[in-house]
């Protein structure tokens, strides 16, 4: 039997438009651009400012974690890093985790890269990691992201208002993807 921790470690997943893979040193400039994108930060209500040193240390340690999965989204046609996908907040007993995605900025929006990356990581979560449910939270004022999640099969399960922002809770279940 496969060690459950091994299944959470650094796969490469190929799609038509994108490849999901572990981060490499050459990705750091693109990731720095991503975390500093004003529109992306606005659409995720990110207010924290990070130093380049903190960001570089963060990405250099992603492969050391077997309790979460952080992968670069690479556009196959150009080889450029378009963003990242993350499965985190893992609950092994419930076979659930949370999902998030971030793209580098407006030049990367609306091209289907995020939707395909989401579909690939969700499929990997169900088929390779043995998850039963994957959840996410998205700002109600981010309809582009919500449409992308719905295309993959996420459904709204509720919402909550925090600090004046409405967050929509969404989930996708393995049973509905069969």
- pLDDT tens by residue, 68-118: 999 999 999 999 999 999 999 999 999 999 999 999 999 999 999 999 999
pLDDT digits (tens, 9 = 90+) for 7-60: 677 899 999 999 999 999 999 999 999 999 999 889 888 888 889 899 888 888
Contact 101, 86 (CB under 8 A): yes
pTM, to two decimals: 0.92
> What are phi and psi for residue 20, nearest 5 degrees?
-100, 130
Residue entry with tokens 């500093």:
36
* Contacts (Cβ under 8 Å, ≥6 apart) of 169: 135, 136, 137, 156, 157, 158, 159, 160
> Apex CA 168: angle with CA 121 and CA 157, to 5°?
80
Contact 102, 40 (CB under 8 A): yes
Contact 66, 19 (CB under 8 A): no
């Amino acid at each position: 039997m496969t060690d459950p921790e091994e299944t959470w470690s650094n796969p490469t997943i190929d799609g038509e438009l994108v490849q999901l893979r572990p981060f490499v040193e050459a990705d750091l400039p693109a990731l720095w651009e991503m975390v500093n994108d004003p529109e992306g930060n606005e659409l995720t209500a990110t207010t924290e400012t990070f130093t380049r040193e903190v960001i570089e240390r963060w990405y250099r340690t992603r492969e050391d974690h077997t309790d979460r999965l952080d992968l670069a989204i690479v556009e196959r046609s150009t080889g450029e890093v378009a963003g990242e996908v993350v499965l985190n907040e893992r609950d092994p007993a419930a076979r659930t985790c949370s999902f998030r995605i971030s793209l580098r900025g407006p030049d990367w929006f609306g091209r289907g890269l995020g939707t395909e990356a989401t579909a690939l990581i969700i499929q990997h979560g169900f088929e390779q990691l043995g998850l039963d449910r994957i959840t996410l939270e998205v700002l109600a004022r981010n309809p582009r992201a919500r449409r992308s999640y719905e295309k993959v099969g996420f459904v709204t399960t509720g919402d909550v208002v925090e600090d004046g922002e409405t967050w929509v809770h969404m989930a996708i279940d393995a049973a509905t993807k069969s």
